[in-house]
Amino acid sequence: MPDLLLELFSEEIPARMQGKAADDLKRLVTDALVKAGLTYEGARAFATPRRLALNLTGLPARQADMKDERKGPRVGAPQQALDGFLKSAGLASIDEAQIVSDPKKGDFYVAVIEKQGAASEKVIAAILPEVIDKFPWPKSMRWGAGSMRWVRPLQSILCVFGPETEETATVPFSVDGLASGNVTHGHRFMAPDAITVRRFDDYAEKIEKAHVVLDAARRADIILHDARDLAFACGLELVADEALLAETAGLVEWPVVLMGSFDEAFLDVPAEVLITSMKNHQKCFSLRDPRTGKLANRFLLVSNLIAEDGGRAIVAGNERVIAARLSDARFFWQTDLKTKLEDRVEKLKEITFHEKLGTQFERVERLQRLAREIAPLVGADPAMAARAALLAKADLVTEMVGEFPELQGLMGRYYALEQGEPAAVAAAIEDHYKPQGPSDAVPSDPVTIAVALADKIDTLTGFWAIDEKPTGSKDPYALRRAALGVIRIILSNELRIALCAAPLKIEADLLAFFADRLKVHLRDAGARHDLIDAVFSLGNQDDLLMIVRRVEALARFLDTDNGANLLAGVKRGTNILRIEEKKDGRAFDGDPDHVLLAEQGEKELVNVLDAVVHHVEDHVGKEDFEGAMAALAELRPAVDVFFDNVTVNAEDGRLRENRLKLLNRLREATLKVADFSKIEG
């Protein structure tokens, strides 16, 4: 079956856009082809700095013929109805239609429309111009006199189609005057001449010889292995950076890794600053000494060509630029050290946190108060927590963080240690932002925990107070992340904190938001959604750790035979009770009358319930949820006997009401640990 090869060759595509662009190209073309009746066996998309390519295999040579029957008006219908039918069906006269008889509806006209499938080349030629013209680049540009927009000037379109074993043909179309063909170009500098292409295998082989590695993952693999080998040869190891690896793979078509060096004197600057400076400004990888773990005065760069001098001029140029950049970083470092963090706090008055929530200075004042109050709850020294909160945002006004915003917190820790602050305070300055994502570490030091909780809770309560809550997929202030951060800190450190009580005083609407985030967190961790709902249905729960422990205990209980069988019995009783409550329009509250207990099964259930309710309440009061579940298990035999031998809806109204009260008592007993009606199974 025929294959299709499409290449869109342009000026440099930004690295950050390449992966999505390749995916978009594959999606748009394949969706359009399938909609047109052309299925395919396989699809692969590729991106380099100068091209997007798509290879589709197993396409049919032409569309399938189509036959469509279109029902028309009844025989004898007004001429206006007949004319409309003829026009929509493409018939010249009503004689071209068939007459079909229906026993109920009578005779009516039917047009049988047969459409011969078009050659695939024609379908492709019709589809691709629209795909290219409406391609969803996040940013695009126009050039020359044309009206077309593309991420960078589009220079050529290669589009060939044909069977694997035969000659292919160019699919003819044009976009804004740019005609398709069978020609591409290799590497900009090392092989710029035109290359004629027949199909994908031929294309991949020829551009590889022309110094273009088509697959981005392979380019990244080449960079990684060459970088590791070059570092190892010098007794060093690569500082891993997945984001930088992906970016450099998107900057070159023929990756060549080279090593440079810088003055050892720069190593007095914190390693993270050097790494960030070299990465941000020159896209260079850092190296370290595996024996000491310290940064080495070497770096690796990724060139886009094989230089005649072995890359010496390229390395020298990068060394000059990096020396200048590291000089700037050292200047920032030395300048910042001259001013203490506490003396910078006043400048936070110049930074607006939010127009309705005041400045960063006002926020720091709130953080101090809150961190001091939280500290005793998490085992931290209140004065130490307040000190860390005071200094937590001070590095925002340093030269270094002004240049490299991603180093906020980290630089605060360095400056705090250099200025003699306690280690716990310095650690809290860096780590109070954590966790910022699902893979981020959770703070464990008490002082850091106090400041981290204060930071996130102040953010949440503040934005809740001004009614800036997340809506749908929109969460501009990352409030979901802040709530999840609070949850992870509390659960990871097994903290017993009542969110609604002092000092947090979380209001009901925000507590519901925490509940939703906790549900998401537990589901992601593998907890059953129905068990989460069963526990949350109890309401008035602001102790996150207790909720989790209750869910875990319930899961273990239901995995036992006693738990599973008791669940079945309780759900049966709850269903009966709900039906009868709806029928009578009232609840069956109150204790059952012992005088009306006629059957041995109901007598046994009443006796067991009296003891079990006391035991469950005692265990729940001690927060011994395992014990509460074990106590509930004592109900299982009596519940089984009750449903085997007792008719709830007895003819005697007094017996019926008494037995429904007994079922209500059973429901109330289980509600002390969870709402069993929410549990599936």
Q: Kindly report the CA angle at 610 between 605 and 615, in degrees rounded to 5?
A: 115
Pick the CATH number of 555-678 from 1.10.1200.10, 3.40.50.1000, 1.10.730.10, 3.30.70.1280: 1.10.730.10
Asked if residues 186 and 210 have their Cβ atoms less than 8 Å apart, the reply is: yes
Which residues on neighbouring strands pair with residue 175, listed in sequence order? 178
Terminal alpha carbon distance of the chain = 51
Element (H, E) at 602: helix 600-621
Structure tokens at 239: 């500082």
SS (H, E, C) 337-378: HCCCHHHHHHHHHHCEEECCCEEHHHHHHHHHHHHHHHHHHH
Q: Report the relative pairing of strands 178-181 and 154-163 from DSSP bridges.
A: parallel
Distance (Å, rounded) from C-alpha 655 to C-alpha 668? 20
Element (H, E) at 68: strand 66-74
Confidence at residue 141, expressed as pLDDT on a 0 to 100 scale: 94
Distance (Å, rounded) from C-alpha 274 to C-alpha 282? 11
Residue 383 exposed, middle or buried by CB count within 10 Å (0-12, 13-18, 19+) = exposed
Q: Which of 232, 255, 427, 403 is nearest to 331 (CA)?
A: 403
- To 10 degrees, what angle do helices 446-465 and 360-378 make? 130
Mean confidence (pLDDT) of the chain: 94
Asked if residues 449 and 493 have their Cβ atoms less than 8 Å apart, the reply is: yes
- Placement of tokens 């292409």 in the chain: 197
- Residues 6+ away with beta carbon under 8 Å from 506: 457, 461, 499, 500, 514, 542
Q: Domain locations in the chain?
A: 2-61+119-209, 66-115, 216-337, 343-495, 555-678
Confidence at residue 117, expressed as pLDDT on a 0 to 100 scale: 83
- Residue 169 identity: A
Instruction: Summarize the confidence of residues 162-175 as an average pLDDT.
Output: 90
In the chain, helix, strand, coil percent, each to 5? 55, 15, 30
Summarised one tens digit per residue, pLDDT across range 339-357 is 999 999 999 999 999 999 9
Q: Kindly report the CA angle at 54 between 52 and 55, in degrees rounded to 5?
A: 150
pLDDT band at 540 (very low <50, low <70, confident <90, very high): low
How far apart, in Å, are the Cα atoms of 246 and each of 243, 288, 304, 321?
5, 21, 15, 22
Q: What is the DSSP letter of 421?
A: -
Cβ neighbours, 10 Å, residue 176: 16
Pick the CATH number of 343-495 from 3.40.30, 3.40.50, 1.10.3210, 1.10.287: 1.10.3210
Instruction: Summarize the confidence of residues 659-665 as an average pLDDT.
Output: 94
- Residues 6+ away with beta carbon under 8 Å from 526: none
pLDDT above 90 for 95: no
Cβ neighbours, 10 Å, residue 172: 13
Confidence at residue 656, expressed as pLDDT on a 0 to 100 scale: 94
Distance (Å, rounded) from C-alpha 679 to C-alpha 527? 13
Distance (Å, rounded) from C-alpha 512 to C-alpha 506? 10
Element (H, E) at 222: helix 216-233
Q: For 232-246, 384-398, 522-536, which range has the lowest pLDDT when averaged over its residues?
A: 522-536
Instruction: Summarize the confidence of residues 427-454 as an average pLDDT.
Output: 96
Summarised one tens digit per residue, pLDDT across range 221-280 is 999 999 999 999 999 999 999 999 999 999 999 999 999 999 999 999 999 999 999 999
Asked if residues 679 and 534 have their Cβ atoms less than 8 Å apart, the reply is: yes
SS (H, E, C) 445-485: CHHHHHHHHHHHHHHHHHHHHCCCCCECCECCCCHHHHHHH
Summarised one tens digit per residue, pLDDT across range 14-63 is 999 999 999 999 999 999 999 999 999 999 999 999 999 999 999 999 88
Distance (Å, rounded) from C-alpha 187 to C-alpha 252? 10
Instruction: Summarize the confidence of residues 469-478 as an average pLDDT.
Output: 92
Element (H, E) at 163: strand 154-163
Confidence at residue 567, expressed as pLDDT on a 0 to 100 scale: 92
Confidence at residue 102, expressed as pLDDT on a 0 to 100 scale: 83
Domain 2-61+119-209 = CATH 3.30.70: yes
Asked if residues 68 and 74 have their Cβ atoms less than 8 Å apart, the reply is: no
- Residues 6+ away with beta carbon under 8 Å from 465: none
Structure tokens at 294: 């310290």
Summarised one tens digit per residue, pLDDT across range 589-602 is 999 999 999 999 99
Asked if residues 63 and 118 have their Cβ atoms less than 8 Å apart, the reply is: yes
Distance of CA 429 to the CA centre of its chain: 27
Distance of CA 74 to the CA centre of its chain: 57
Distance (Å, rounded) from C-alpha 647 to C-alpha 649? 6
Distance (Å, rounded) from C-alpha 449 to C-alpha 374? 9
Summarised one tens digit per residue, pLDDT across range 220-230 is 999 999 999 99
Confidence at residue 211, expressed as pLDDT on a 0 to 100 scale: 98
Summarised one tens digit per residue, pLDDT across range 66-75 is 777 888 888 8
Summarised one tens digit per residue, pLDDT across range 307-323 is 999 999 999 999 999 99
To the nearest 10°, report the CA torsion of 556, 560, 566, 568.
Answer: 100
Distance of CA 530 to the CA centre of its chain: 23
Asked if residues 55 and 44 have their Cβ atoms less than 8 Å apart, the reply is: yes
- Placement of tokens 């409550």 in the chain: 581
pLDDT band at 100 (very low <50, low <70, confident <90, very high): confident
> How much of the chain exceeds pLDDT 90, in percent?
83
- Placement of tokens 């729960």 in the chain: 541
- Placement of tokens 């060093």 in the chain: 236
Instruction: Summarize the confidence of residues 550-565 as an average pLDDT.
Output: 92
Instruction: Summarize the confidence of residues 457-480 as an average pLDDT.
Output: 95
> How much of the chain exceeds pLDDT 70, in percent?
100
